[in-house]
C-alpha cells in the first residue's frame, strides 16, 4: 500500500478564523503561518504553528495554502501582487480559498493559477472560531477532483460537514452566497422579533425559550438570540461574528441577485439593517447588535 505523506500546509492570515484553523491542523500536519500582526504569530507558535516573516516564506514548498481574505481584490493581490505567493508555489500545489468573496473574479483567478499548474479549491466555510478549533466547520467545495484530493486531508481535519457542490471554482462561492442570504435575513428577522417582544413587555428569556420550541425556531434565533439580549448591555455581547461581515456578505448577495436578474427584496431589506447599524458605529461589534437599530435600549 502506498503511503501518502502528510501535506505541508501554509495558513495565510491568523485572525479570528485563521488562528484556530491553523492550530487545529497543527495537531496532525506540518503547518506554517503568516500574519501581519506579530501578536498573532506568537499565539500561533504556541499552538505548534511555525511562524514565518512573509506570506511567500510560508507558501514556499507548501502543498496546500489556506487563505482567508476580505474580498476578491485582496485575493488577487495576495496571489499576483508585488509580493504574490503565486510566484513561489510549485506546480501541483493548491490554494484553498476559505473566505466568502462572491463568484465574481474567482473563475479568472482559477484560470490564472491553472496556467502555473496550481489548483484553486473554492471552499468557503461557516461555523465560527470555536468550531474551527474543534474541527466542526461546515465547508462547501467547488473544485476539480484532482485538486480536491490534494486538499482533502486539510478540509477533513477542519470540517464535520464537507459538501462538494461542484467541480468548478465558484460553485462553493455560489452556495455560500445562498447560505448567507438566509443567515443574514434570519438574524435581522430575529432581531426585529425580539425587539418587538421587548416593547410588548414580554419576558425575553421566556420568549426565546417558547419560540425555540415551536415552528418559529431557527438556528440563528437560538444562536444569536441570547447574544441579542446581551447586545443591550454596556459591554455588549462577545464578538463572535463582526457585524460588518454581513455588510460585506449581503452586498455579495445583492450583487449576485442583480447579475441574474432575480428580485431579492428580503435580502435587500436585511442589507439595509446592517448598513444602518454600521453607520451607527456597530460595524466592529458582534452582529447580534443589529437589534439596536430597532430598539436602542432594552425596556423590559
What cell numbers appear for 123 in the block?
471552499
The catalytic residue among 176, 227, 248, 292 is 176
Residue 292 to residues 15, 38, 228, 248, Cα–Cα distance (Å): 27, 35, 9, 19
The CA distance from 220 to 283, in Å, is 19
Backbone angles phi, psi at 74, to 5 degrees: -65, -35
DSSP track, 212-237:
HTSTT--HHHHHHHHHHHHHTSSS--
Active site residue 46: no
Q: Burial code of 151-183, b = ≥16 C-beta within 10 A, e = fewer?
A: bbbbbebbbeebebbeebbbbbbbbbbebbbbb
The CA distance from 41 to 33, in Å, is 7
What's the maximum distance between 2 C-alpha atoms anywhere in the chain? 68
Neighbours of 89 (CB within 10 A): 24
Catalytic residue numbers? 176
Amino acid at each position: 500500500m502506498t503511503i501518502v505523506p502528510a501535506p505541508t500546509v501554509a495558513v495565510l492570515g491568523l485572525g479570528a478564523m485563521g488562528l484556530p484553523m491553523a492550530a487545529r491542523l497543527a495537531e496532525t500536519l506540518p503547518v506554517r503561518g503568516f500574519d501581519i500582526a506579530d501578536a498573532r504569530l506568537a499565539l500561533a507558535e504556541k499552538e505548534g504553528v511555525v511562524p514565518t516573516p512573509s506570506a511567500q516564506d510560508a507558501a514556499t514548498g507548501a502543498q496546500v495554502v489556506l487563505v482567508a481574505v476580505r474580498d476578491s481584490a485582496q485575493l488577487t493581490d495576495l496571489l499576483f501582487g508585488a509580493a504574490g505567493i503565486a510566484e513561489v508555489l510549485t506546480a501541483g500545489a493548491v490554494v484553498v480559498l476559505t473566505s466568502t468573496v462572491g463568484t465574481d473574479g474567482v473563475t479568472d483567478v482559477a484560470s490564472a493559477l491553472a496556467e502555473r499548474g496550481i489548483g484553486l479549491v473554492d471552499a468557503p466555510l461557516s461555523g465560527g472560531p470555536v468550531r474551527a478549533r474543534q474541527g466542526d466547520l461546515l465547508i462547501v467545495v467547488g473544485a476539480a477532483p484532482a485538486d480536491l484530493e490534494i486538499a482533502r486531508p486539510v478540509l477533513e481535519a477542519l470540517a464535520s460537514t464537507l459538501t462538494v457542490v461542484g467541480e468548478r471554482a465558484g460553485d462553493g462561492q455560489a452556495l455560500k452566497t445562498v447560505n448567507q442570504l438566509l443567515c443574514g435575513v434570519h438574524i435581522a428577522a430575529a432581531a426585529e422579533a425580539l425587539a418587538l417582544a421587548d416593547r410588548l413587555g414580554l419576558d425575553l428569556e421566556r420568549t426565546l425559550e417558547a419560540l425555540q420550541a415551536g415552528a418559529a425556531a431557527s438556528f440563528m434565533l437560538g444562536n444569536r438570540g441570547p447574544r441579542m439580549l446581551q447586545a443591550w448591555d454596556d459591554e455588549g455581547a462577545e464578538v463572535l461574528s463582526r457585524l460588518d461581515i454581513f455588510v460585506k456578505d449581503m452586498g455579495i448577495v445583492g450583487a449576485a441577485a442583480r447579475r441574474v436578474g432575480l428580485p431579492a427584496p428580503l435580502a435587500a431589506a436585511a442589507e439595509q439593517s446592517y448598513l444602518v447599524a454600521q453607520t451607527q458605529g456597530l460595524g466592529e461589534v458582534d452582529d447580534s447588535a443589529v437589534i439596536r437599530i430597532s430598539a436602542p435600549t432594552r425596556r423590559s
